[in-house]
Amino acid sequence: MNIIVGATGQVGSNLLKELKKDGFPVRAVVRNPDKVADKSIEAKAADLFDVKQLIASFQGGSAVFVLTPEDPTSNDILGETERIVENYRKAIQATGIKKVVALSCVGAHVEGCTGNILMSRILEQGLADLDADKVFIRPSYYFSNWLAYWQTMEQHGVLPTFFPGKLKIEMHSPIDLAGFIAKVMARESFGGNAVYELIGQRPYSSEDVAEAFSTLFNKTVTAQSIPREKWQENLLSVGFTENTAANLADMTQAVIDGRTALERPDDAVKLPTSLAQYLRDPNLVR
């Protein structure tokens, strides 16, 4: 049985689909089972802060997929991540699961002030000494992160961005990511421990993204960089707390400064979908 935590998110939901399509047994672990779209899939309710619920939901599992959920309303996002990871450890140990796939991110190997990336570092370090085969998946920036600005671009022709307009970073499709994870989980044996860093077909800048949306909308979309001193204000205005806004700002600055480069760039896995192809997907949820 493949246990999927966060099964209603963009990666988790697509991971469920991929594994089920290929005939593998799956169980969704979510806060609210009613939100699992496919009612034929077994779903268990669990609060990640409740270790007893996690243990119950992991029972009978042979492999588990875990992640660090981001809560913009948190007042201690790193402290809460430590609690969740410790609960993962206890649940995995209590249920004897021997295959663990953890969704980390590029830059998790870096020490220092990297904001949200530290959540992935906490996850990797917290699970490192488990008596289980472990695979850490480190994706780069998701194409889907830009979809939050869909209406702004369509209506006003402006793509707000915290990045300098010409700064190119690695980006890829979260659907490709889910497909890659499904292939990893489908293996009979992990053969020990592994780390995979994932990139897309090529790096993109904010200006490249604006150009892709210009083509999609058949109108000019311009990337508009938000000054560093305005980041906090912008994030607070859309519901982030002081704590989560500060961590997101630190992560963004780390990316801009080049402190979150791939640990092993020569071994990076290149995912197949381009940004233009992703945006043309008729099933795209925006």
Give 94-139 pLDDT, tens digit per residue.
999 999 999 999 999 999 999 999 999 999 999 999 999 999 999 9
Structure tokens at 285: 């949820």
pLDDT for 149: 95
Helices (H) and strands (E) in the chain, counts: 10, 12
SS3 content of the chain, % helix, strand, coil (to 5): 45, 15, 40
> Residue 285 has what pLDDT?
66
Residue 203 has pLDDT above 80, yes or no: yes
How confident is residue 192, by pLDDT bands cut at 50, 70 and 90? confident
The residue-averaged pLDDT of 15-33 equals 93
> Global pTM?
0.94
The pLDDT value given to residue 39: 87
* pLDDT tens profile 246-262: 999 999 999 999 999 99
**Residues ≥6 apart with Cβ < 8 Å to 258:** none
In the chain, the domains with their CATH numbers are: 2-144+171-201+260-275 (3.40.50.720)
